[in-house]
Structure 1
Amino acid sequence: MLEAKDQQQAAAAEAVEANVEAINPDQEEVTEVEVEVVDPQAAALEAARKLANDNHERYMRVQADYDNFRRRSRQEKEDFAKYASVKLIEQLLPIVDNFERALVASKSVKDFEVLIKGIEMTAKQLDQVLESEGLKAIESVNQPFNPDFHQAIMQVDSEDHEEGTIVEEIQKGYMLKDKVIRPAMVKVST
């Protein structure tokens, strides 16, 4: 391989001398010019190394960007979970204030009708807030028993209702949007 390279360099040097004589036939002294013959395989290898280095640097930048994205996403998820209930709490605070006012008023005023009316209005306000968040009470009385929505705690004989019909609701059940979060506790006719 070295011998072939030396032969190529010698041939290139002779070609340069011939070209110099053709261009300058009257000049007696010619300065020696060093010619480097480029090996095509070495050039291809050097180009491949440069491309590999560029690709590696690009990969490292993308990997760093991805790591930063993953870290930011985890932090955002933690913050969301930590403060997810802020909106609901903000809506409930006026209701808490109304209950506190009712308690203070009940100690100084002995008009229980006004107190009951105030508590009913506050309870209605609470229902509106919960409904706006997607909470719905499960209808139970006079409905057929459905174990997906109801929890039977007692069976009673009833001539007024068909078998498997809910006679009485002991505790309300609730759904949040499409999911049952608490089944209704009911008495079912036999």
Structure 2
Amino acid sequence: MEEKDVQQKEQEDVKEEVVEDAEQELVTEAESAESEEETVSNEESEKLQQEKDELQTQLLRVQAEYDNFRKRTKKEKEADLKYKSQSVVTELLPVLDNFERALQVEVEDKAAKGVVEGLEMVYRQLKTVLENEGVTEVETDGQTFDPNIHQAVIQVEEEGYESNQIVETMQKGYQLKDRVIRPAMVKVNQ
């Protein structure tokens, strides 16, 4: 048994020597790799720092673009909400004009007067609904012509009116809040 013990001890000694040699090699390799890494890591560090700076700049630009997009979208939504009823109002303006024409008719028959009174009620209700949506008439009587809210249909020379003053309204104009949806058609003094 002693021979086996001796052999085992020799094998263990050999193993220890191999392990020590391997450890020594690893330490040597690690030291040489470390010195190489230091020179490489300085270069890589500079490259990484430069890449980091570039990415940070890109990130800031993307954030700014996103903020601008968000603000622009918010403004567009607010404008859409503000003028949401414009298409309906535009469709209703000819109806309002027809009511006004119908109410200008002189009637003497009692039954016809009842119909006219009913028309007046519907007309007032329609005007109230439009006013609640922010629709207002464009001022024309005695006003100076403004091409932003008036459309000159005819120019005349009449006494008692200043130059560029509105003489007569041919068709009413309307605004939805601060936007002109139909300019007033007017007769203007030269």
TM range (shorter): 0.3 to 0.5
User: Higher helix proportion, which one?
Assistant: 2
Tell me the TM-score normalized by structure 1: 0.45
Tell me the TM-score normalized by structure 2: 0.45
